[in-house]
Amino acid sequence: MTDLDHARASLSSLPEEARLYLRPTGLGCVPAHDPSAVRRLAGGMAWFGLVHIIARVGRQRRVSVVAPVGEVEALIDGLPAAHRERAGMQWRNLLKPRPALDMGHGKMLSFDRPAVMGILNVTPDSFSDGGKHVDAQVAAETAWAMMKAGAAIIDVGAESTRPGAKPVWEGDEIERMRLLLERLAHQPVPWSADTRKAAVMRYALGQGVGIINDVSALTYDPEAVKVVASSGIPVVLMHHQGDPQTMQVSPAYDDALLDVYDWLEARIDACEAAGIARGKIILDPGIGFGKTVRHNLEILNGLSLFHALGCPILLGVSRKRFIAALSREEPATERLPGSLAIAVQGAAQGVQMFRVHDVPETVQALKVWQGMQDAALMPPGM
């Protein structure tokens, strides 16, 4: 029996309660000898030649097979009826391009190439740059410099959500944003609001925000999902376990990668039911938010799985603590090399957007990666 025969046999006998997952792998460029052996991932610059098909029953992975892309549709057709529709939807999601988003100011956010979101925390206590931008004029100059360096959008945060951080009153959060935005009024900069609160979202909508970025995935404030749904604004849904004050106290998962996938899938369903179009949703797996180093690595190594949900992926790893844990315990300001390493690895898995502190360096790293991808598509000697 061949490996594919074994795969067919394993998949054709799946129990109804099993959950199926399709993760693109064999990632790289179009092979010159056989372009038909790969598929373009989500309309971006990454290509994949294999699909890792996983079936979980309860807490355990029961089936784990890898198939060439040319065999995937036949394997899906051979699935029990209870699983065929779900697998077919995931396969279509892996292949279809993600639509561009309107961020206002005549700016569109395209997902055919990796985009950079610059982090601008107007807070006194954020883990890496807390206090650096509390002066509104300094913050405005930083925002403009990020745009000139190649950021597609600036993510303005006025409440720290680092591990151990305490909530900020919505009035203070709004006031911190207001002082910055007044100075950007004559320099139109596409910006996103990093907030969990409906009142802050309403204020941001009145100021021309391009995206709402909610680390709670619209679960913290019961009114938030209604605000986003009625506005039609794009939203980032981020996975988390616990709240900032408790999230790093013994986080636990049965299977970190699949658990995060299931949680995000449930949030998409809830948001769609509330009137938010799937085409307006961006997903963030929430690296460092209720996760150990091992959990983070499991998710980062399996990032391509999240494309099966059919939404663009945002990755926020810039200067995070686990980078130091893998190296020499460097402080946050000395974690740029590790941040860049993960960004390039994320791009290779088809991640469409990167939330970073170090915009010029990340833009350059991604442009070099893009250039290598472009060159690899050209026949030798051209």
Write out the DSSP string of 113-159: S-EEEEEEE--S--TTTTTTT-SHHHHHHHHHHHHHTT-SEEEEE-S
Domain assignment present for 116: yes
Total domain count, the chain: 2
- Asked whether residue 215 falls in the same domain as residue 191, the answer is yes
The band of 349, judged by pLDDT with boundaries at 50, 70 and 90, is very high
Q: Which of 281, 290, 297 has the alpha carbon at shortest distance from 252?
A: 290
What are the Cα distances from residue 258, in Å, to 23, 33, 263?
Answer: 11, 34, 9
- Asked whether residue 72 falls in the same domain as residue 138, the answer is no
The band of 104, judged by pLDDT with boundaries at 50, 70 and 90, is confident
More confident residue, 189 or 250: 189
Q: What percent of the chain has pLDDT over 70?
A: 91
196 is catalytic: no
Which structure tokens are listed for 152?
Answer: 């597609």
- Asked whether residue 145 falls in the same domain as residue 182, the answer is yes
Q: Which of 197, 141, 303, 220 has the alpha carbon at shortest distance from 212?
A: 197
Which structure tokens are listed for 247?
Answer: 């999230």
Give residue 55's pLDDT: 95
Domain assignment present for 381: no
Name residues whose C-beta falls within 8 Å of residue 12's C-beta, 6 or more positions apart in sequence: 78, 79, 80
Across 80-97, average pLDDT? 96
- Asked whether residue 80 falls in the same domain as residue 133, the answer is no
- Give the number of other CB atoms < 10 A from CB of residue 202: 16
Give residue 33's pLDDT: 65
- Residue 199 backbone phi and psi in degrees, to 5: -65, -40
Domain assignment present for 382: no
What residues form DSSP beta bridges with 284? 238
Name residues whose C-beta falls within 8 Å of residue 222's C-beta, 6 or more positions apart in sequence: none
User: pLDDT tens digit string along 157-196?
Assistant: 988 776 666 778 889 899 989 989 888 887 788 999 999 9
Domain assignment present for 320: yes
Question: What residue numbers bound the domain in which 112 lies?
Answer: 101-376
- Asked whether residue 201 falls in the same domain as residue 327, the answer is yes
Which structure tokens are listed for 74?
Answer: 């036949």
Cα gap 77→70, rounded to integer Å: 13
Give residue 268's pLDDT: 98
Which structure tokens are listed for 156?
Answer: 């303005």
What residues form DSSP beta bridges with 27? 48
The band of 281, judged by pLDDT with boundaries at 50, 70 and 90, is very high
Residue type, 26: G
Cα gap 201→221, rounded to integer Å: 11
Residue 15, pLDDT > 60, answer: yes
Q: What is the CATH number of the domain that holds 327?
A: 3.20.20.20
Residue 82, pLDDT > 90, answer: no
The active-site residue, picked from 197, 280, 320, 335, is 320
328 is catalytic: no
Across 296-322, average pLDDT? 97
The active-site residue, picked from 56, 176, 197, 355, is 355
More confident residue, 244 or 359: 359
Give residue 94's pLDDT: 98
Residue type, 287: I
Domain assignment present for 129: yes
- Asked whether residue 355 falls in the same domain as residue 211, the answer is yes
Cα gap 121→139, rounded to integer Å: 8
Q: Which of 56, 74, 95 is the last residue of a domain?
A: 95
